[in-house]
Amino acid sequence: SLSGKTAIITGSNSGIGLGIARELAKAGADVVLNSFTDRDEDHALAAEIGQETGTNARYIKADMSKGDECRALIEKAGACDILVNNAGIQHVAPIDQFPTDKWDAIIAINMNSAFHTTAAALPMMRKAGWGRVVNIASAHGLTASPFKAAYIAAKHGVVGMTKTVALETAQEPITCNAICPGYVLTPLVEEQIPNTMKEYDMSREDVVKNVLLKRQPSKEFATVEQLGGTTIFLCSDAAAQITGTTISVDGGWTAL
Ligand code: NAD
């Protein structure tokens, strides 16, 4: 059980982050949800998770595109035994037409945020004598596709940072790993479906099977619950010697 542990999950009022937070809370952890908004519904989400699981769940607003807010999130939480770097955005365009502001935002949110949160969390983990850093990278942290230069650069960067943090903590009871999901049906992916339907004049079903899941041999989406389960495994004693590596949850994508 993860009871007594505090888990901070960045970008967790939706999608994979929310799914991982729910699974960690079910396993007994006190979770800190986060995004850049500060709406009643964000706090209500945390209250609901706390009530359902009998844990202490909180929501703390912090914009992961800003280094000082990343660090403030960890400080405000007051404890950080498990850090899940999950916040991420996407933008699709050929590199010669890639808007610079989108490039900068993706590098900041998808990669730089993990630098700042990890830097702030490691001293707390060292003090507590235990820690887990779980970075949500992507199959695109290991392979590439056209038109996603910023996302792929950021995710490869996260995989590299994961290895370095693992080496710097190798002789401590702290591990750092990256989970590399294939396609998961979350709002981030859902948003890409209508445009792709128009672009290729395809039905939703064809877009899902032949475009989104083209490279996912299982022809099924991974689920947020499965990513939560993978995170819990990385927090278990069985995973104490797993560090500096990637775990693909991609239906065979990276085996192709
Ligand atoms: P999502 O859009 O559902 O969730 C993204 C989360 O990040 C949201 O909670 C959003 O509020 C938050 N966020 C965005 N900008 C932020 C900011 N500036 N500060 C704080 N929070 C911010 O998308 P998702 O699919 O759940 O993606 C979560 C992570 O998983 C991302 O890093 C993404 O790259 C990765 N991933 C997703 C897939 C997939 O198929 N969905 C596959 C591989 C990797």
State the pLDDT at residue 11.
98
Is the complex ipTM more than 0.85?
yes
pLDDT per residue as tens digits for the range 24-48 = 999 999 999 999 999 999 999 999 9
Q: What is the pLDDT of residues 198-210, one digit of tens each?
A: 999 999 999 999 9
Predicted local distance difference test score (pLDDT) of residue 181: 98
Average confidence (pLDDT) over 84-107: 97
In this structure, the dihedral spanned by the alpha carbons of residues 21, 22, 24 and 29, taken in order and rounded to 10 degrees, is: 90
Residues 1-14 have pLDDT tens digits of 999 999 999 999 99
Cα–Cα dist 85/70, whole Å? 10
Nearest Cα residue to atom 41 of ligand 1: 184
Work out which ligand 1 atom sits closest to the CA atom of 69: 19
Q: Catalogue all structural domains in the chain, each as residue range(s) with its CATH number.
A: 6-184+221-255 (3.40.50.720)
User: Residue 14's pLDDT is what?
Assistant: 97
Protein residue closest via CA to atom 12 of ligand 1: 11
165 to each of 35, 115, 168, 195, how far by Cα in Å? 24, 10, 5, 38
Distance 13 CA to ligand 1 centre (A): 9
Helix ranges, 27-112 (H): 40-53, 67-77, 100-106
Please say if the pLDDT value at position 188 is more than 90: no
Q: What integer pLDDT is reported at residue 192 of this predicted model?
A: 86
- Which residue numbers are catalytic? 151
Note if the pTM is more than 0.95.
yes
| pLDDT, mean over the chain | 97
Are 12 and 78 spatial neighbours (Cβ–Cβ below 8 Å)?
A: no
- For ligand 1, which residues put their CB under 6 angstroms from it? 11-17, 35-36, 63-65, 86-89, 109-110, 136, 138, 181, 183-184, 186-189
pLDDT of residue 239: 98
Identify the burial level of 230 via C-beta atoms within 10 angstroms of its C-beta, where 0-12 means exposed, 13-18 middle and 19 or more buried: buried
State in Å: Cα 16 to ligand 1 middle: 7
CA 38, 75, 150: angle at the middle one, nearest 5? 65
pLDDT at 203: 96
Q: How far does residue 25's CA lie from ligand 1's centre (Å)? A: 19
Residue 143, Cβ density class (10 Å: 0-12 exposed, 13-18 middle, ≥19 buried): middle
- Nearest atom in ligand 1 to 85's CA: 32
**Mean pLDDT, range 93-105, rounded to an integer:** 98
118-127, 147-156, 159-168, 201-210: least confidently modelled range:
201-210
Minimal-distance CA residue to ligand 1 atom 20: 35
The pLDDT > 70 percentage for the chain reads 100
Q: How far is the CA of 107 from the centre of ligand 1 (A)?
A: 13
| Helices and strands (H, E) in the chain, number of each type | 10, 7
d(CA 121, CA 165): 12
Ligand 1 atom closest to residue 108's alpha carbon, by position in its atom list: 18
